[in-house]
Structure formats: C-alpha cells, structure tokens
Amino acid sequence: MQQKKRILTGDRPTGQLHLGHYVGTLKDRVRLQDEYDCFFIIADLQVLTDHLENYSSIESNVFEVMCDYLGVGLKLENTFFVQSQVPELAELTMYFSFLVTLPRLQRNPTVKDEAKTYGVTNISYGFLGYPISQAADILAFKADLIPVGQDQLPHIEQTREIVRSFNRVFGKEVFALPEPLVGEVPVLVGTDGTNKMSKSLDNFVAFAHSPEETERRILNMVTDRKRAYRKDPGHPDECFAFKYWSVFASTDTLLVRQECETAARGCKECKAQLTGKLNERLAEIRERRQCYVSQPDLVWDILATGTKRARAVATETLEEVREAIRISFPRLRVSIKGGQ
Ligand code: ATP
Ligand code: MG
C-alpha cells in the first residue's frame, strides 16, 4: 500500500485563532486530515520575531491554539507539536541559512509587510530569517502539501528554492519540492475593513469569543464606505460585511444583495443578522472547544505525544542531512546518557 502523503502547516501561538485562519487554512486542514498524514506545528519560536518583549503568555497561548485546533474538528490522531521542543528544527535552520542570500531575504514581500504593519524598524536577524526557519519546519518532515493563507506563499517559494539549492550543492536528492494549498478565501480582511484579520491587530472574531463578544465586534465592523445615509442604496461588492455574508452564509447573499442595493436593509440590521448567522455556525466549534479547555491534562498529553513523534521523524531527516553535508562523524558520536 502506498504511504499517505504528508501535510505540514501550523500557526504562531500569539493568541486565539479566528475566522481568518478558518477560511484561509483550517477548513482545508479539516477536509484533508483523513487523506494525509498531518503534522501541525505550533510555532512558538517564531513568536520571538516580533513579540520579544511580550512572551510571557506563550504557554497559555499554545494551549489556546491547541484547543482551537480540536474545536474546529482536527482529530486526535494527527501529529500536533510545539516547535521549540524539536531542536532538530533549529539545527536544520542553521544549515539552510548558508543557502540563502541576504538580498533574497530582504526581497520577501510578506516579511516587508509585517515589518511595516508591526512597526519593527530595527529588524532582527531572526525576523528577517524566519522564512528559513519555516523551510526547516516544512522540510524536516518532508511534507508534500502546505495548506496556508496567501501571505505565506513567498515563504513556500523560499522553501522550494532551498530544496533546489540543498540538493544541488550537496549532490543528493534529500528533499522533494512541497506544494502550497491556499484556502477558499486567501485573505480575509478584519473588522477594521483595512488589514488582514490578524491576532496581533485586534480586528478579529475568535472561536474563543462568546456570542456577545462576536456581536460587539461585528456591529462595530466597517461596512460600505460609500454609503452615507440609511436611505442611500448600498454597494455590496465594496462592503466588508457583505464579504462575510458570502463566506459564512452564502445561501443568503442574493437576498442580502438585493435589499442592500435598494436600501431595503440598513447596515446595522444587516450586521445584526450576520452576527446571528455567524454565531449559529460557530456554536458547535465553541462547544467542542470548551470541552477541551476544561481538560487541560488531556490537551497537553496530545501535544506531548505529537511532539515525540515529530522529533522522531525530524531526527531521521537530520541524519540524512548531516550525511549529505558530510558532517556525520560517526567516530565522534558521544552519548551523553551512557557516559561512554
Ligand atoms: P499574527 O498576527 O500573530 O501574525 P496571524 O493571525 O497573522 O497572527 P499566523 O499565525 O501568522 O496568524 O497565520 C497562520 C495561518 O493562517 C497562515 O497560513 C496564514 O496565512 C493564515 N491566516 C491568518 N490570517 C488570515 C486571514 N485573515 N485570512 C486568510 N488566512 C489567514
Ligand atoms: Mg501572521
């Protein structure tokens, strides 16, 4: 029997996951989890890129993200793991770093955007180089498919370049080219109507939010900037709330469009209705999520099992990598446990 192909994807534990993650990548993960051998990374070290000063909540954030995963319907049989607990990833990052030039890193459009959005003026070596660390996360597991939002595409391209140069420079086909898979909505704009919905920008609706909090956030949402008065006809194609209708309640869009364009519905009532639809869709996810939140030992056990499995796979890849680079040195292997 042919082995299942492998997926590697994940999130930074900077807070709770939200609707942007759902349509950008989580939905695909849920859909593909039976067909693929799935590895889900919680990339805690990557948080250091832009949250150096605010790292104290990392453990609770890892827990939250893990509960979000289980809440949206990812199954326990998948491999869930924490990046920092697989040190082989840092080692692989080191090897890959020699294959990427500085101008190449500086050209990465997502890194440039993030540096601007988060106001990182004195960009660190680690921030600039995080796409290399992401390549290591993907290639340590020899993943075939990477379900991600659109902002991650430059990083997958960088990963593919690393595959080509590694295999060429070291003369061995250690890695194959991974393919990205972008979700049904490549970029969901947040409730501010300007930026990508993002944990760091507080323009999001999280799975962890209560129905009331969801209502508050949706009612404050920016809608149609061209519609000044209730009696004016609306422009659904330029309205952010309408975008949410088409993503989360698509069967109603014809009616909503018609009522909006004829000014039969106002923005406030439109958003109130949308809140109802969203809360309906989120109810099951929230209930399942809450069930895991109340069982922290179980959640940490799932992560411990996954991290062990991830480490075993990464260790195997690293053996191969060291051999290709010719730094295996079998005669210098020291066992720190046995003392010989
Ligand atoms: P942070 O603000 O901490 O960077 P984030 O909300 O941007 O967090 P990430 O952890 O950077 O989330 O992204 C995780 C995955 O979710 C990536 O594949 C990313 O492309 C996808 N994603 C995140 N936000 C959105 C969005 N608004 N629309 C579509 N996909 C998204
Ligand atoms: Mg991000």
Residue type, 48: L
CB under 8 Å to 308, separation ≥6 — which residues?
A: none
Instruction: Give me ligand 2 centre to Cα 197, in Å.
Output: 9
pLDDT at 217: 96
**Quick one: which ligand is closest to 198's CA?**
1
- Judge residue 106's burial from the number of C-beta atoms within 10 Å of its C-beta, 0-12 exposed, 13-18 middle, 19 or more buried: exposed
Q: What is the largest CA-CA distance in the chain?
A: 83
- Give me the DSSP letters along 156-179: HHHHHHHHHHHHHHHTS------E
Instruction: Give me ligand 1 centre to Cα 304, in Å.
Output: 24
Closest CA to 43 of 112, 136, 107: 136
- Ligand 1 close to Cβ of residue 12 (< 6 A): yes
Q: Model confidence over 87-130: pLDDT tens digits?
A: 999 999 999 999 999 999 999 999 999 888 878 788 999 999 99
Give the N- to C-terminal CA distance of the chain in Å, as an integer. 42
Closest CA to 29 of 147, 133, 113: 147
To test the ligand 1 pocket, which listed residue (19, 25, 111, 114) has its Cβ within 8 A of the most ligand atoms?
25
Joined tokens for residue 18:
């939200």
Q: Model confidence over 169-186: pLDDT tens digits?
A: 999 999 999 999 998 888
Distance CA 77, CA 280 (A): 28
Please compute Rg for the chain using Cα positions: 22
Distance CA 298, CA 292 (A): 8
Joined tokens for residue 287:
């209930």
Q: Model confidence over 221-279: pLDDT tens digits?
A: 989 888 888 999 999 999 989 999 999 998 999 999 999 999 999 999 999 999 999 99
Query: pTM, whole model, 2 decimals?
Result: 0.92
Question: Is the per-residue pLDDT at 54 higher than 80?
Answer: no
Instruction: Give me ligand 2 centre to Cα 34, in Å.
Output: 27
pLDDT at 42: 98
Please state whether beta strands 6-11 and 37-42 pair in parallel, antiparallel, or not at all (unpaired): parallel
Residue type, 331: R
pLDDT at 337: 67
Instruction: Give me ligand 2 centre to Cα 81, in Å.
Output: 19
pLDDT at 1: 58
In the chain the domains, ranked by start, together with CATH numbers, are 6-187+295-338 (3.40.50.620), 211-292 (1.10.240.10)
Question: Is the per-residue pLDDT at 41 higher than 90?
Answer: yes
Ligand 1 atom with the shortest distance to the CA of 51: 3
**Quick one: which ligand is closest to 185's CA?**
1
Confidence of residue 2 (pLDDT cuts 50, 70, 90): low
**Quick one: which ligand is closest to 47's CA?**
1
Q: Model confidence over 177-212: pLDDT tens digits?
A: 999 999 888 899 999 988 899 887 889 999 999 999
Nearest-CA residue for ligand 1 atom 21 is 149
Sheet holding 179-182, edge to edge: 79-82, 37-42, 6-11, 145-148, 179-182
**Quick one: which ligand is closest to 61's CA?**
1
Residue showing tokens 């062990």:
308
- Ligand 1 close to Cβ of residue 227 (< 6 A): no
Percent with pLDDT over 70 in the chain: 98
